[in-house]
Amino acid sequence: MTELPGAVVSAEWLAEHLNDVRVVDVRWYLDGRSGRAAYREGHIPGAVWLDIDAELSGWASPAAGRHPLPLPEQFAAVLGRVGIADETPVVAYDDAGGSIAARLWWMLRDQGQPAAVLDGGIQAWQGEVSTELPDVSPVQRRIRPWHPEHFASADEVAATNAVVYDARTAERYAHGDPAIDPRPGHIPGAHSAPWMANLGGDERLLPRDVLREIYSAADGRGAVAYCGSGVTACLDLLAMEVAGIQDTALYAGSWSQWASDSGRPVEEGVRSR
């Protein structure tokens, strides 16, 4: 079985191992554009498409957040349907610097499945793209529970001694966006760590030493990352993985859950990393 070189792979590596891994397109857009339509217009050959809303999340609600984790049996069924067996190496990609693909990477990482994100996304892909839907054979998968040490609840975030990072834009962190945020501000004490700041101008992850400096406050303390709904926070977690930061967790409910609870305190304004 092909061994992934790490949590991130280059387009060159993927081109050489395209037949040895299952490639998953997880393009998704907050503005309502269709990720499925983007996939059908052209994708990396052999890639399947998974929907963040319907397949990589559970039922959305103010109490659970916009993208809560699906039940383990639902996740197993989704992966099995597209032919991803228990030990199949997976490479996920998007067209947003890995900020969407990292959600699938984090979920698979929790399950002990070999997984990586394509550095630079589909824009980095130099080969041909395909409009053909791949012929996949469904498989049966073991149902594996989520590991609680990789995820944090709202109560655990409130009580944690780890560094808490908010992956939303600096503006949303400070003041919120009334179009999508239940309330302005951020979790008290959280540091602003916009997911875009993990990327260079080519939308690839910054070098390891730069990422390690960005997240130096978490070195030895651990970290919890959140965003608006538990998706783009996973790019912060991917960056910390590359940087060698240990003991990290995703607050999947994120701001969409926290701010919907009027009993949870909020903080506005700017706080540095």
pLDDT confidence of residue 165: 98
Tell me the average pLDDT of the chain.
96
For range 211-238, the mean pLDDT: 97
For range 249-256, the mean pLDDT: 98
**Residue ranges per structural domain of the chain:** 8-124, 148-258
Would you say 105 and 92 are in contact if contact means Cβ atoms under 8 Å apart?
yes
156-171 confidence digits (pLDDT tens): 999 999 999 999 999 9
For range 20-40, the mean pLDDT: 96
Is 227 among the catalytic positions? yes
Choosing from 76, 154, 199, 227, the catalytic residue is 227
CATH label, 8-124, candidates 3.40.190.10, 3.40.50.10490, 3.40.250.10, 3.30.930.10: 3.40.250.10
pLDDT confidence of residue 270: 80
For range 118-136, the mean pLDDT: 95
pLDDT confidence of residue 216: 96
Paired residues of 210 in beta bridges: none
For range 35-57, the mean pLDDT: 97
pLDDT confidence of residue 273: 47
138-192 confidence digits (pLDDT tens): 999 999 999 999 999 999 999 999 999 999 999 999 999 998 999 999 999 999 9
Domains 8-124 and 148-258 share a fold: yes
For range 94-118, the mean pLDDT: 97
CA-nearest of 199, 215, 254, 250 to 67 is: 254
pLDDT confidence of residue 2: 81
90-93 and 223-226 strand pairing = unpaired
CATH-assigned architecture of domain 148-258 = 3-Layer(aba) Sandwich (3.40)
Which strand (E) or helix (H) includes residue 226? Answer: strand 223-226
